[in-house]
Amino acid sequence: MPVILNNDINGWNAFSSKALSSNGDDFGIIIDFAGGGVYEMPQDDVKTYLSKFAPQDAFIIKELIPSKNNKGFTKMIAVDASALYNKEELNHLVLLNDLDLANQSQNMYSYQSEIRETPKVDGDKTFNKINKNAVVLDKPLITAATNGQYDRLLKLLENNANINELNPETLDNALIAAIGNGDEDIANLLLDKGINAKHKNKNNQSALHIASNFGLYNTVNRLLKTGLPVNDRDNGGNTPLMYAAASPNTYVTDLLIDNGAKLEDRNSDGETPLLIAARAGNTKTVDNLMKKGANPSVVDNKGNGAVMKAAVENNKYTLQNLLSKGLNPDLKNRKGYTPLMMTVQQGNTDITNDLLKAGADINAKDPIGNTPLMTATLSGDTPMVRELLKHKPNIQVKNKEDKNAFDLARDNGFAQLQRILGQNMKTFDDASIALFDKAAKNDTDGAVYAIKMGANPNARDKNTGNTPLFTAVANNYLYLTQSLIANGADVNIRNNLGNIPLIIAVTSADTAMVDTLIKAKSDVNAANKNGDTALIWATKLKNIDMVRLLLTAGADPNKKNNDGVSPYLIAYNENSDDILGLLQAAGGYK
């Protein structure tokens, strides 16, 4: 086999073996792909050969190989530019020096190697023409397809080129290469000529996967008619619909769905097409998939939902669209992080603000007990801390190390943050501070004792308007909730967002907590500042048990929020048939 002299000489691969030139003089090799020939000639004759072409039609590379015992080494190479368009195609040229083709073994290139005499070039000059099959020219058909060279590809096919040749690295055939270049004309030509449309590359991708990803409607349609399986999977478990979901072309997603593509198939990461579209920020595709019936509430293998994916990828409009449809902004992944926690970590104040406007819990705790405010403080992120303070977080809440945000700023030497947080901290007398502290720790006895010592059971955090009862309900501390109510906590008190504890219970707790509040005379039709009632939230979350409990307690199925949307309309739009039946039975109507 040829020996690699230098694997990167101006992007070329150079090889050496035995003598080709009998006189040992310097010579040039011309590889004329379009003409189908490989020519050896003295370098002085290269310019003569090139005189047939305009200057822009040929490349001249001088002195490719450094001088070290360089007698007989190639000094000048000329290549017909009709076959050479970019640096990728330099790999199609093998520089031969001292190569005795007549003595090569037959299996060297899997073709016969022979010397043919007397092709004529430029008048009376005669050169040795070497059978092109004796030279490793890589894959000209693949290259032509990749580079959009329609005429060259057609000529290669007319000269009986192997239509099913493969890229040795990717195992792409020419059809996949053409589609990857977005060239539907070449794709149609190859299909007309009988290329194997069902071939799959080393990633187990078919032409249908690639065409779907590039949004090539006509090609996708033709491939489907050819019989390619619409739900075929690549090595990552991705179907063509998943590839289409990564592109904004809703026509292709419609076409695939109409041909049987499955909306809820998952790849190896547990992603559905809708989750992929949310991650890619394709708002129209997300909308389209939901209209086709895709479930927006699914999560991947890590527990990340559509809101999480849109948020962490900074896909603002997709996120706003998802939130406007009632998706839970506080859905935690398997590691215990909410979208808000992640965007705070990223320092993305814009997306953080969108989540907070949608009702994301600013005081939610991560696995080590840190709130978003604590996370921002630990990062020394002053702009984020200022943004979070606008939404009235509980500065005094503590993590598992018994530290609040102020403590973390002090311990890490963030003097400016100490001042900012300190200015927002003092809100309660000592007894009320003790009550909040005991409630946060689910210390029922301590909370009751604080009330007996004079703490107001309805003391409010001036930043959030939350009382200790909100803390107990949000954390599903049932016994503490019952004890606070028994000691004077108001079940219908509102925080700064207009929520009463019952609304918080529907989004954060279980039916036992909701039942406790209802029995304590909580107003089941109370609405927050957005006009959302507990029943509206239960319907958005598709919690049928919660809906049934609230309806039994007298919740109004037709009460609308500020956007004019009622529980019945939400269930109708979300195709929540079971919930719709309950609402209808309670007098709900569209």
Q: CATH number of the domain that 568 lies in?
A: 1.25.40.20
The two three-digit tokens of residue 445, written as one number? 């006895």
| One domain, residues 7 and 126 | yes
| E-strand stretches of 276-423 | none
Q: Are 129 and 209 part of one and the same domain?
A: no
- Say if residue 114 is in the same domain as residue 226: no
- Do residue 125 and residue 234 come from a single domain? no
Shared-domain flag, residues 220 and 122: no
H helix intervals, 181-216: 184-192, 207-213
Q: What is the rounded CA–CA span in Å between residue 107 and residue 97?
A: 20
The pair of structure tokens assigned to 460 is 């409010």
**For residue 273, which of 283, 262, 284 has the smallest C-alpha distance?**
262
Distances from the Cα of 227 to the Cαs of 220, 232, 289, in angstroms?
11, 11, 24
In a domain, 210, yes or no: yes
Give the whole-angstrom CA distance, residue 251 versus residue 199.
25
What is the structure's pLDDT at 510?
86
134, 164, 183: which is the final residue of a domain?
Answer: 134
Last residue of one domain, picked from the residues 327, 357, 386:
327
3-state secondary structure (DSSP) of residue 200: strand
Residue 557 resides in a domain? yes
Q: Which amino acid is at 590?
A: K
| CA atoms in the 13 A half-sphere facing the CB of 235 | 5
Domain endpoint, select from 299, 327, 355? 327
Question: Which of 235, 236, 296, 234 minimizes the C-alpha distance to 263?
Answer: 296
Closest CA to 197 of 178, 213, 169, 215: 178
Angle between helices 283-291 and 250-258 (to 10 degrees): 30
Name the token pair of 295. 């479930």
Q: Number of folded domains in the chain? A: 3
DSSP-derived 3-state class of residue 310: helix
Q: Please give the Cα distance from 209 to 192 (Å, whole number).
A: 20
Q: What is the pLDDT of residue 464?
A: 84
Closest CA to 173 of 129, 141, 136: 141
What pLDDT is recorded for position 462?
A: 75
Residue 188 CA to residue 201 CA, distance in Å, equals 19
Residue 270 exposed, middle or buried by CB count within 10 Å (0-12, 13-18, 19+): middle
Helix (H) or strand (E) holding 16: strand 12-16
Whole-angstrom distance, CA of residue 264 vs CA of residue 295: 8
* 446 in any annotated domain: no
Q: Is residue 279 part of a domain?
A: yes
pTM (2 decimals)? 0.54
Looking at residue 301, the DSSP 8-state letter turns out to be T
- What is the enclosing helix (H) or strand (E) of 9? strand 3-9
Beta bridge partners of 305: 299
Positions of the chain with pLDDT lower than 50, given as ranges: 1-41, 43, 46-47, 49-50, 52-137, 427-428
Q: Note whether 10 and 124 are same-domain residues.
A: yes
Q: How far apart are CA 399 and CA 417, in angstroms?
A: 18
CA distance 382 to 200: 52
| 302 in any annotated domain | yes
Tell me, what's the pLDDT at 415?
Answer: 85
Helix 382-389 vs helix 415-422: angle between axes, to the nearest 10 degrees? Answer: 10
Residue partners of 586: CB distance under 8 A and separation at least 6: 551, 555, 557
Is the same domain home to 128 and 8?
yes
**Token digits of residue 148:** 């959009």
- The secondary structure of residue 67, as a DSSP letter, is -
Which residues are CB-contacts of 278 (< 8 A; sequence separation ≥ 6)?
286, 306, 307, 309, 310, 315, 318, 322
Among residues 107, 123, 145, 115, which one has the least CA distance to residue 38?
Answer: 115
| Partners of 37 in the β-ladder | 32
In a domain, 437, yes or no: no
Distance (Å, whole) CA 293 – CA 300:
18
> Where would I find the beta strands (DSSP E) of 431-471?
none
Interatomic CA distance for residues 145 and 154, integer angstroms: 10
381 Cβ contact partners less than 8 Å away, ≥ 6 residues apart:
344, 347
Residue 443 lies in a domain: no
Range of the domain at 530: 524-590
Looking at the DSSP assignment, which residues form a beta bridge with residue 27? 42
Q: Report yes or no on 61 lying in a domain.
A: yes
